[in-house]
């Protein structure tokens, strides 16, 4: 233990006792003053004290899992426990064994292992009745617990905290629990001024024997071994400087107290014990093994979802315990957001726990068109939860009553707090490996089954009650509500057949599935390869959206060899499938002899990658591996260029890596591998190991990789504590034992993020000039620092492949490429003379997925303009009192103007204006003066015009008048007068029905007038003498069969028909026929049957054409024709007299008798022998 004094004034310490009542569990959030917080030790480690919201028994307020142990926060005190390491290790090994057994054999899994351990209560003797519990330093992510069938134990949006405080354990004494420097559980005893240290005493309830050894360490004797707590270290802090205080343990009758030397009692004191040295934690805060199997990425916001399985150990108790329910597995779905910039922390948004009381394991994860997450796997829990939260409702398929292992299908909302599940299976093992969704919302699952009652369980689905071999392929479709089985197919040969991976074509919903078979009679349809080949081969199939087989083929191994197809993806056009897996040798027809990365297998077991058209046209096949074994292929994913990303695990020490690999060697026994092949499988564009000193491995998982927007997302299951992580990420240190696997999440960028794109400053130039040259940054990749178990190093250097494109625009919206602008820098001459404000930008582009960055600059062009306006014209002809106003704009003051702007005579003047930068602009203006002799105007009038100066003009002509203008100058004004006359007109019209004239429609005879203005603008009057005659109409209605003749026209369809002629008045006469035609009908059918056919009450035994007549529903003739072909059954008889036995049609007979054999003859009818 470490005992620490904190130097604070009594006044400040007293303030830290402010209490705020919390809403839950009598928590009191005690404020921590900045001075006290500065004294306390804080480490960049994580322990999750997760609040109990009903998912655990009521006495547990918070629960934390750590290295080989667990802590439970209770009102009585902290219960701490440790597990037997050997039992935990055995449980972890068994979890892997169960996965392998379910993958490769039909053997029953072993019995679950019971976990024993020892727990004790840190009981502070005679603690204050006012002791309260508070939580501090909340984590941002939340957790959801959906475990078992009891909905009362479900909990959503559960918060976790880094620290738990027991406040006021004694007067002025607090106890703080938090993660230590190594990630273990540690606690401080904080003694504020006025605390009585003699009262501080701890009883370890559940520990029968404690002792203090020669090194002053405290030794706890438990049923799983001794635990040593180091001697206390005691200190105070004065003005920010820590001072050690002498101290030691004191033990009386198993009650621990402290001997403390002289210290300043006006300052706080902290007692700080070091935590359990067996303690560790895994990413999901479990004390057992954790494997990650699947990943998906939301294309709408980039959120990352993973699905994992974790071994559970239940809750500890005080004293020795053996948890009989231990050994189960539960499922964790997690949501993350990767950082927006290189080196960021990223965000763990939430984690949701699922499962029942037995074995539950998830293998694949998919996001559906409705945005929800769909995942599938295996469950043995009879209380697997079916409906949790408010986002979903209604019942779902529930076969939890079926024995053995069943398949679960679950959907989870993106908030992680609502889930709906279906449990599907029969009377034996049923297991799912992959899940997909269609664009119609249906959910597809593939795997295998050993059940013999699926048809009984899912009547009408298409399933059978037959087990064709050891394990049969199982594929089924359920609706998105998980309530209806759309269809189910189970089939196979006489041995093991298992589907491992699927694809769904989004345009047709056709299904492609693949896996492996050991059967020589696996069902094939239009196969590319029709025989097994080796001991175990792959298979490939195409099914319709309803499960019907379009084609089914072996993918053959070499003689005596094995292969398995595990992963598959479409190319961008969805007309090719790229698939791969593991093999120790393929048939030569499945590996390209040249033109691919490797035509020869490198070692015992290699990855293989193949490309085949969806019509089974095989294109390429290559091996990829080292001289030892590639252990598992976890994922294949293509980018927008159809290049192929490959993720797996390998024990080879010479797995092919590229020069720019993150890690060029195998650091342990089994490491993760991450590779990229060109679309035609010819070039290994990138390849690296990824791992640490121990094993990185998972036996199951085909959906461990995703690709989106130039990023490839993958996972890793690692025992090593020194795998390469990015420095500053959410969690970079693994504190657990290297015998425990933990999941990791890795995001690869292809290409890496680019460095800042910069170009030189904006320029100011005069219009018509050429700008100077522009300088741009070179462009490089931004690479993160790596962290391996706390050791930081640089990412291996990667030379950037960068291209540049310079563009220009006058409005910053519409851009055009600058001719020749493809270099880092740009010559100003490439732009030419600039006459207006111009925007310039440079696009810096990376390689492969074409990530790019754009930076803009502005060329500010001094487009100076000037306007010349008349200030004053000359007042009289020949004067010199004119002036000009000159206004410059767009330039930089002061301005210089050429020439005088006042005292001007009549004429045109040009001016040049120069600004302070030397930019110039010109303008011109004309000075006018009044006419010396005369002015004139023109006027037009009707019939006459009254002159302004008196008199009337009645005819066109020029009328002049002399006067003195207001400016005192002589002037003559002349009126040029045009006299126009008014007009009249008349017209006579004789029409039928109506007549429209000048916008008015007339329907009766009469005389009408219209007044307007004529072409000269004078009055114009028109007269209309109108006579109206009228048209006539008639109609008739007829209802007949087939046709009707009217006015010499024959009609065969219903309708309204008209006939027009002229009446006695010479106007239109229109007749209308409303006709209804009812039609006779005919039909024809062709039938091909054996022996006889009965039709319309007659039985026919010979081929021929037959007719039948009656009336149809419309009351007209209906004639039916039957084209009948009769084929005939055959019989034959054979008499055989033999000794002992006789074999006939595959059956061996040992007794005399009459036997029959039925089949189909050449005509397709019964043939009985």
Distance CA 396, CA 1009 (A): 86
Of 967 and 747, the structure prediction assigns the larger pLDDT to 747
pLDDT surpasses 60 at 272: no
Distance CA 443, CA 509 (A): 11
How far from 392 is each of 157, 242, 298, 480, 834, CA to CA, in Å? Answer: 17, 57, 20, 11, 64
pLDDT score for 12? 23
Average pLDDT over residues 408-432: 95
Sign (positive/negative) of CA torsion 529, 532, 533, 536?
positive
- Residue found under tokens 């068109």: 369
Of 383 and 99, the structure prediction assigns the larger pLDDT to 383
pLDDT surpasses 90 at 846: no
Residue 317 phi/psi, 5-degree rounding, is -135, 165
The string of DSSP codes covering 438-466 is -TTS-EEEEEEE--S-HHHHTTTSS--S-
Distance CA 609, CA 621 (A): 6
pLDDT score for 275? 21
Query: Model confidence at 100, in pLDDT bands (50, 70, 90)?
Result: low
pLDDT score for 541? 99
Distance CA 762, CA 791 (A): 44
Query: Model confidence at 96, in pLDDT bands (50, 70, 90)?
Result: low
- Among 165-169, 230-234, 998-1002, which stretch is predicted with the lowest mean pLDDT? 230-234
Average pLDDT over residues 1031-1035: 87
Average pLDDT over residues 245-266: 78
- Among 163-167, 315-319, 621-625, 694-698, which stretch is predicted with the lowest mean pLDDT? 315-319
Report angle CA 426, 427, 429 to the nearest 5 degrees: 80
% of the chain with per-residue pLDDT over 70: 87
Query: Model confidence at 271, in pLDDT bands (50, 70, 90)?
Result: very low
pLDDT in tens, 17-30: 222 223 333 344 45
Judged on CB neighbours under 10 Å (0-12, 13-18, 19+), 1055 is exposed
Which two three-digit tokens encode residue 612?
């085949």
Distance CA 856, CA 112 (A): 65
Residue 556 phi/psi, 5-degree rounding, is -80, 140
pLDDT surpasses 90 at 748: no
Residue 1063 phi/psi, 5-degree rounding, is -85, -175
pLDDT score for 882? 87
Distance CA 650, CA 946 (A): 113
Distance CA 44, CA 790 (A): 11
Distance CA 320, CA 206 (A): 8
Distance CA 991, CA 756 (A): 85
pLDDT in tens, 1078-1133: 988 888 999 998 999 999 989 999 999 999 888 888 889 888 899 999 999 888 89
pLDDT score for 85? 62
pLDDT in tens, 920-956: 888 999 988 876 667 788 888 888 888 888 888 888 8
Strands 269-272 vs 290-297: parallel, antiparallel or unpaired:
unpaired
pLDDT score for 26? 39
Express the helix, strand and coil content of the chain in percent, nearest 5 each: 5, 50, 45
pLDDT surpasses 80 at 1021: yes
Average pLDDT over residues 458-487: 97
Query: Model confidence at 153, in pLDDT bands (50, 70, 90)?
Result: confident
pLDDT score for 25? 38
pLDDT score for 856? 62
Q: How many residues does the chain have?
A: 1169
Mean residue pLDDT across the chain: 84
Residues 6+ apart with CB under 8 A from 96: 289, 699
How far from 790 is each of 48, 889, 1153, CA to CA, in Å? Answer: 20, 64, 86
- Among 84-88, 274-278, 810-814, 1119-1123, which stretch is predicted with the lowest mean pLDDT? 274-278
Residues facing 923 on adjacent strands: 911
Distance of CA 457 to the CA centre of its chain: 35
Of 320 and 1030, the structure prediction assigns the larger pLDDT to 1030
Residues facing 1036 on adjacent strands: 1073
* Pick from 206, 136, 194, 186: nearest CA to 170: 194
pLDDT surpasses 90 at 288: no
Q: 1069, 1057 in Cβ contact below 8 A?
A: no
pLDDT score for 255? 85
Average pLDDT over residues 87-113: 60
Helix, coil or strand: residue 344: coil
pLDDT in tens, 978-988: 888 888 888 89
Q: 1023, 1006 in Cβ contact below 8 A?
A: no
pLDDT in tens, 509-549: 999 999 999 999 999 999 999 999 999 999 999 999 999 99
Which two three-digit tokens encode residue 521?
């009679």
pLDDT in tens, 690-722: 999 999 888 888 899 998 887 889 999 998 888
pLDDT in tens, 389-402: 999 999 999 999 88
pLDDT score for 304? 92
Query: Model confidence at 286, in pLDDT bands (50, 70, 90)?
Result: very low
pLDDT surpasses 80 at 968: no
Distance CA 73, CA 641 (A): 54
% of the chain with per-residue pLDDT over 90: 36
pLDDT surpasses 90 at 444: yes
pLDDT score for 390? 92
pLDDT surpasses 50 at 254: yes
- Among 318-332, 449-463, 560-574, which stretch is predicted with the lowest mean pLDDT? 318-332
pLDDT surpasses 90 at 734: no
Average pLDDT over residues 978-1006: 88
Of 1161 and 965, the structure prediction assigns the larger pLDDT to 1161
pLDDT surpasses 60 at 165: yes
Sign (positive/negative) of CA torsion 23, 24, 30, 34?
negative
pLDDT score for 408? 97
pLDDT score for 192? 83
- Among 558-572, 633-647, 1018-1032, which stretch is predicted with the lowest mean pLDDT? 1018-1032
pLDDT surpasses 60 at 850: no
Average pLDDT over residues 1147-1157: 91
Of 322 and 753, the structure prediction assigns the larger pLDDT to 753
* Highest mean pLDDT (candidates 329-333, 547-551, 905-909, 915-919): 547-551
pLDDT surpasses 80 at 765: no
In the CATH scheme, what is the code of domain 763-862? 2.60.40
1106-1127 burial code (b ≥16 CB/10 A, e <16): eeeeeeeeeeeebebebebebe
pLDDT surpasses 80 at 656: yes
For 588, which DSSP code?
A: G
């Amino acid at each position: 233990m470490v005992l620490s004094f904190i130097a604070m004034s009594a006044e400040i310490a007293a303030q830290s006792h402010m209490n705020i009542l919390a809403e839950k569990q009598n928590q009191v959030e005690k404020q921590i003053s900045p001075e006290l917080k500065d004294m306390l030790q804080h480490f960049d480690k994580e322990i999750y004290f997760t609040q109990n919201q009903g998912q655990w028994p009521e006495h547990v307020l918070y629960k934390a899992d750590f290295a080989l142990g667990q802590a439970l926060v209770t009102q009585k005190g902290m219960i701490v426990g440790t597990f037997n390491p050997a039992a935990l290790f055995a449980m972890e090994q068994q979890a892997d064994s169960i996965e392998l057994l379910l993958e490769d054999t039909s053997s029953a899994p072993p019995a679950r292992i019971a976990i024993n351990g020892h727990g004790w209560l840190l009981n502070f003797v005679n603690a204050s009745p006012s002791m309260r519990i508070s939580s501090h330093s909340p984590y941002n992510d939340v957790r959801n617990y959906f475990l078992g069938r009891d909905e009362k134990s479900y909990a959503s949006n559960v918060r976790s905290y880094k620290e738990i405080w027991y406040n006021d354990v004694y007067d002025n004494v607090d106890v703080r629990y938090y993660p230590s420097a190594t990630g273990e559980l540690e606690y401080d005893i904080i003694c504020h001024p006025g605390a009585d240290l003699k009262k501080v005493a701890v009883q370890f309830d559940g520990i029968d024997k404690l002792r203090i050894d020669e090194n002053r360490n405290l030794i706890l004797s438990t049923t799983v071994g001794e635990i040593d707590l180091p001697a206390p270290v005691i200190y105070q802090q004065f003005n920010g400087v820590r001072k050690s205080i002498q101290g030691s343990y004191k033990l009386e009758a198993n009650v621990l107290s402290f001997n403390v030397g002289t210290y300043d009692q006006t300052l706080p004191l902290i007692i700080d014990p070091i935590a359990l040295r067996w303690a560790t934690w895994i990413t999901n805060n479990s004390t057992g093994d954790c494997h990650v199997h699947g990943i998906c990425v939301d294309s709408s916001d980039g959120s990352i979802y993973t699905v994992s399985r974790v071994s559970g150990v239940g809750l500890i108790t005080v004293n020795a315990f053996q948890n009989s329910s231990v050994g189960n597995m539960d499922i964790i779905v997690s949501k993350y957001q990767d950082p927006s910039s290189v080196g960021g922390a990223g965000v763990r948004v939430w984690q949701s726990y699922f499962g029942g009381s037995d074995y539950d394991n998830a293998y694949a994860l998919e996001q559906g068109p409705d945005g929800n997450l769909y995942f599938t796997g295996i469950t043995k829990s009879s209380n697997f939860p079916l409906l949790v939260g408010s986002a979903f409702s209604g019942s779902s398929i529930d076969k939890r009553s079926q024995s053995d292992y069943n398949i679960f299908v679950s959907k989870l909302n993106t908030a992680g707090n609502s889930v709906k599940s279906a449990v599907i299976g029969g009377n034996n093992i049923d297991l799912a490996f992959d899940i997909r969704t269609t664009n119609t919302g249906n959910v597809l699952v593939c795997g295998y089954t050993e059940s013999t009652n699926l048809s009984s369980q899912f009547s009408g689905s298409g399933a059978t009650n037959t087990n064709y071999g050891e394990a049969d392929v199982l594929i089924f479709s359920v609706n998105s509500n998980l309530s209806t089985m759309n269809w189910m197919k189970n089939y196979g040969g006489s041995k093991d057949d298992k589907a491992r991976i699927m694809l769904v074509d989004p345009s047709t919903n056709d299904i492609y599935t693949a896996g492996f078979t050991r059967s020589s009679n696996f069902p094939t349809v239009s196969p590319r390869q029709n025989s097994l080949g080796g001991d175990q081969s792959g298979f490939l199939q195409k099914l319709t959206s309803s499960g019907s087989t379009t084609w089914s083929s072996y993918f053959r191994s070499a003689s005596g060899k094995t292969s398995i197809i595990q992963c598959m993806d479409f190319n961008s056009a969805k007309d090719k499938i790229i698939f791969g897996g593991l093999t120790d040798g393929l048939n030569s027809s499945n590996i390209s002899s040249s033109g691919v990365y490797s035509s020869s297998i490198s070692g015992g077991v290699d990855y293989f990658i193949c490309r085949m058209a969806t019509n089974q046209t095989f294109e390429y096949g290559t091996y990829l591996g080292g001289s030892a074994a590639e252990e598992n292929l976890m994922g294949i994913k293509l980018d927008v260029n159809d290049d192929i990303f490959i993720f797996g695990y390998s024990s080879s020490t010479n797995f092919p890596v590229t020069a720019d690999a993150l890690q060029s060697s195998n650091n342990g026994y089994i490491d993760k591998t991450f590779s990229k092949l060109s679309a035609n499988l010819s070039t290994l564009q990138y390849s690296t190991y990824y791992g640490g000193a121990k094993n990185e491995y998972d036996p199951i998982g085909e959906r461990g990789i995703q690709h989106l927007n130039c990023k490839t997302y993958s996972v890793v299951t690692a025992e090593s504590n020194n795998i390469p992580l990015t420095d500053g990420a959410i969690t970079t240190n693994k504190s657990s034992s290297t015998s425990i696997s933990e999941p990791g999440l890795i995001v690869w960028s292809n290409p890496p993020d680019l460095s800042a794109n910069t170009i030189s400053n904006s320029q100011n130039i005069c219009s018509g000039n050429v700008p100077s040259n522009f300088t741009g940054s070179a462009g490089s990749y931004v690479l993160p620092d790596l962290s391996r178990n706390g050791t930081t190093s640089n990412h291996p250097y990667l030379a950037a492949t960068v291209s540049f494109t310079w563009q220009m625009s006058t409005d910053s919206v519409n851009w055009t490429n600058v001719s020749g602008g493809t270099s880092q820098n740009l010559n100003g001459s490439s732009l030419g003379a600039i006459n207006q404000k111009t925007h310039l930008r440079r696009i810096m582009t990376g390689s492969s997925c074409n990530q790019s960055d754009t930076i803009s600059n502005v060329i500010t062009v001094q487009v100076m303009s000037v306007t010349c306006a008349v200030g004053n014209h000359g007042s009289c002809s020949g004067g010199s009192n004119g002036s000009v106003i000159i206004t410059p704009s767009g330039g930089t003051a002061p301005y210089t103007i050429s020439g005088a702007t006042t005292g001007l005579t009549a004429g045109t003047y040009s001016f040049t204006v120069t600004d302070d930068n030397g930019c110039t602009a010109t303008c011109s203006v004309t000075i006018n003066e009044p006419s010396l002799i005369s002015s004139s105007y023109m006027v037009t009038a009707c019939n006459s015009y009254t002159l302004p100066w008196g008199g009337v003009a009645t005819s066109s002509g020029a009328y002049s008048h002399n006067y003195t203008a207001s400016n005192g100058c002589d002037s003559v004004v002349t009126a040029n007068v045009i006299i126009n006359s008014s007009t009249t007109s008349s017209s006579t019209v004789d029409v039928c029905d109506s007549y429209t004239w000048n916008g008015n429609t007339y329907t009766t005879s009469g005389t009408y007038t219209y007044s307007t203005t004529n072409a000269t603008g004078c009055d114009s009057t028109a007269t209309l003498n109108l006579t109206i005659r009228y048209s006539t109409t008639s109609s008739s209605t007829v209802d007949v069969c087939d046709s009707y003749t009217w006015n010499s026209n024959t009609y065969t369809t219903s309708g309204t028909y008209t006939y027009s002629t002229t009446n006695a008045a010479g106007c239109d006469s229109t007749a209308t026929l409303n006709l209804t035609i009812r039609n006779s009908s005919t039909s024809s059918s062709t039938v091909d049957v054996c022996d006889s056919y009965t039709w319309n009450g007659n039985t026919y035994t010979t081929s021929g054409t037959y007719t039948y007549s009656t009336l149809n529903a419309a009351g007209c003739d209906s004639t039916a024709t039957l084209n009948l072909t009769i084929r005939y059954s055959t019989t034959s008889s054979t008499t055989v007299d033999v000794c002992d036995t006789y074999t006939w049609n595959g059956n061996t007979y040992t007794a005399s008798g009459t036997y029959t054999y039925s089949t189909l003859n050449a005509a397709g009818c019964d043939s009985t022998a």
